[in-house]
Amino acid sequence: MNGKGDVSTSDHIVIAVDGPAASGKGTLARRLASFYGLGYLDTGSIYRGVGWLMLSQNLDPRHDEDAARLAKTFTLDAIAEADIRTPDVGRAASIIAAKPAVREALLSYQRDYASTPPGAILDGRDIGTVVCPDALVKLFIDASLEARAERRWRELSARDASITLQAVLEDIRRRDARDSGREAAPMRAAKDAVLLDTTQMDIDTVFAAACRVINRALEEKRA
């Protein structure tokens, strides 16, 4: 698909892209944001950022007060040079993301970003259910555990050849359990979300499917 999405300055749309780790939601959301000329926020990077800050200060991610304190003062500038894509940071992020005080502290940041014209695409795990429940379009991106583990392993092993596929699979399995089982904003598809299973789909196919959903919603909004 070539060209640019048909979003006018008067539209102000918000698109929620949710899903588990390594489902492809980030890749899709970035491409959609570029295509439609919207802002893009990887909300997982915020939680990873707080996790990285805790680890860099030798703090335990399980400690509620320290996690909440860092979340309340968090800025993206604080992690501008940080490597937040390591397995350790990912595990820390999943732990602190289960804390209600952390989620509350970061909620306003995400909503402020979404409200900035001409709109935004946010990806995460609770965008359509909690952060932006009134989003024009809600997508839930999923894939089999094995497919997601393979994708993440290829990404991580390019930097560290000692990382095994089995270790990545078990790590994602644990993260899925924490993210879907937490009391605060558990990961789940919104009732009105469109499910896209990317197990057997390449990014171009997923992108085209998402654009069809968004374009249809834009047409209905303008009708």
pLDDT for position 85? 86
In DSSP terms, 122 is beta-bridged to 16, 41
pLDDT in tens, 98-121: 899 998 999 988 999 999 999 999
pLDDT in tens, 72-83: 999 999 999 999
pTM of the model: 0.86
pLDDT for position 7? 65
pLDDT in tens, 11-44: 789 999 999 999 999 999 999 999 999 999 999 8
Res. 194: pLDDT tops 80: yes
